[in-house]
Amino acid sequence: MGGQMVSFKGTRNGLIIVLDQSREFEDIKNTLRSKMESARGFFSGAKFSIADAHQEIPTSQKDELEDICRQYGMVPNPDGSVVMHSKATLEPARTYQNAISSPVGDGEAALMVRRSLRSGQRIVYPGHVVVLGDIHPGAEVVAGGNVLVLGHCRGVIHAGIDGNNSAKVVAMRLSPMVLSIAGRRFTPDLTGHSAGSCRTARLSGKEIVFE
């Protein structure tokens, strides 16, 4: 859990919302609603299940949490909630909305997009995203973790959407239309920066800085 009251994990069957049932239910409910609101529209249409790290969730509480998710366009998995044990692990999602594929190996899992993204294309993934190509204006990447672009990034990038303040955006050429990290939104003016150099965007306090 890493101390998080509510966290999102990707699986082959969609998202699993993991709860820390040692916390007060009202706090869990408010935190879930806050996360849904901060990512409004990002998870619309996604299938989800609710997981409990300690014990079975009372039906009434589960129904309330599912109702919150439905309000933001999410769709409950027919299997219902699942129980998370202390040694349980979740496989990274192979696909999620318009995602291409997700390799599994040592280190942290990431979604690997093996092509450039054109205008109107959108990738949404709860972990790290690596794009082996360019992100053109009008294309969008929404990630719960870091975004790495091995090309020219000129689209819309949202990293750390689950409140991950340590998330970064790295691109070989970074000139996005809009960029946000952990809800901090910024429309960069990179005039004067070398478009041919690798640049990193990260949070420093409450501000996005470029290095």
Hey, what domains does the chain have and what are their CATH numbers?
6-83 (3.30.750), 110-210 (2.160.20.70)
Residue type, 14: G
Would you state the structure tokens that stand for residue 82, as one six-digit string?
């699942």
- pTM: predicted TM-score of the whole model, two decimal places: 0.52
The amino acid at residue 100 is I
Strand-pair category, 199-204 with 75-76: unpaired
The pair phi, psi for residue 121, each rounded to 5°, is -90, 145
pLDDT tens track for 176-207: 899 999 988 887 665 444 444 678 889 988 88
At 115 the three-state DSSP class reads: coil
pLDDT at res. 108: 64
DSSP-derived 3-state class of residue 37: helix
Non-local (6+) Cβ contacts of 188 within 8 A are 174, 175, 176, 179, 201, 208, 210
How do residues 87-117 score in pLDDT, each as one tens digit? 333 333 333 333 333 333 345 678 888 889 9
Cβ atoms of 61 and 9 within 8 Å: the answer is: no
Three-state secondary structure readout of 44-85? CCCEEEEEECCCCCCHHHHHHHHHHHHHCCCEECCCCCEECC
For the stretch 13-42, pLDDT in tens is 677 888 887 888 899 899 888 877 766 666
